[in-house]
Amino acid sequence: MVSIISVSESTLKALKELGLTEYEVQAYVTLVDGGQMAASDISSKSGVPFSRVYDVLGRLEEKGFIQIQRGRPTLYIPKAPTEVVRLVRLAWEEKLTAASKTVVEELQPRYERETPAISRDVWLLHGRPNILAKALEMLEGAREEILLSLPSLDVKSFADDGELEDLTAIIESVFRHKVAKVYVLTSSIPDSLTDMLPHSVEIRLRPAFGAGLVVDRRDVLIMLAGDDARGDFLGVFSSAPVFAAMASSYFDSLWKESTPL
């Protein structure tokens, strides 16, 4: 039987990326269009063969796309797309968190044991996505203290969408992670953000022309904007103790000369 449902190619592709097969897409869209139905109606309206429809509907329930109301007849009820997407995202995040934890716990000690320290003392990072990823990784691993320098904490002052997204991601990560103390040097901060500061975050004001991050006085990331015409971004990351000591000492000297918020 040929399906008689009609959805755009982009929606069909998106639903498959969310984990549905073609038959599951047909059944779910049919329910979204028609509301609760019996299995026989779903089969006839979606084009899913009746011999397959119960298996298809069972998998849709397992994946959280529909609910089943037992009775005579049994009715199948679609969940709202907004709820479905939220549930899928949460499931993926849980799987990703669990997988990441397993990989890091077993492989990171091997990496640190077997990789010569000199090879990872200083890294150059090219491109904004790589620099942002390293900054967020450092913040994720922070345990005691964060030292952060940014030109501004006012996201509205960033005209480039990518820079705005980067700044927002860094600010959210800094505020979300609970470490004993967070010190932020910046030239400006909006009043709306001031009211949201956690108790662990202390901000001081001074002219700032670059961005830098020091985590636990151990790992350092210096973020540099390149040629505006080319849109280059360069990051320098170091886990070398001497580099971390120099960066921390420099931050401390700027901190003493800055104005408390």
Q: Could you read off the pLDDT of 96-125 as tens digits, one per residue?
A: 888 888 888 888 888 777 655 545 578 888
Q: Between 166 and 138, whose confidence is greater? A: 138
Domains of the chain: 9-79 (1.10.10.10), 118-260 (3.30.870.10)
Alpha-carbon distances of 61 from 74, 154, 176, rounded to whole Å = 13, 45, 34
Q: Between 92 and 178, whose confidence is greater? A: 92
Neighbours of 69 (CB within 10 A): 10
| Prior bond of 73 cis (ω within 30°) | yes
Q: Could you read off the pLDDT of 45-67 as tens digits, one per residue?
A: 998 999 999 999 999 999 999 99
pLDDT number for residue 233: 77
- For residue 76, is pLDDT > 50? yes
- Taken as a whole, the chain contains a residue count of 261
Residue 135 CB partners (closer than 8 Å, separation 6+): 170, 173, 213, 221, 223
Question: Model's pTM, two decimal places?
Answer: 0.52
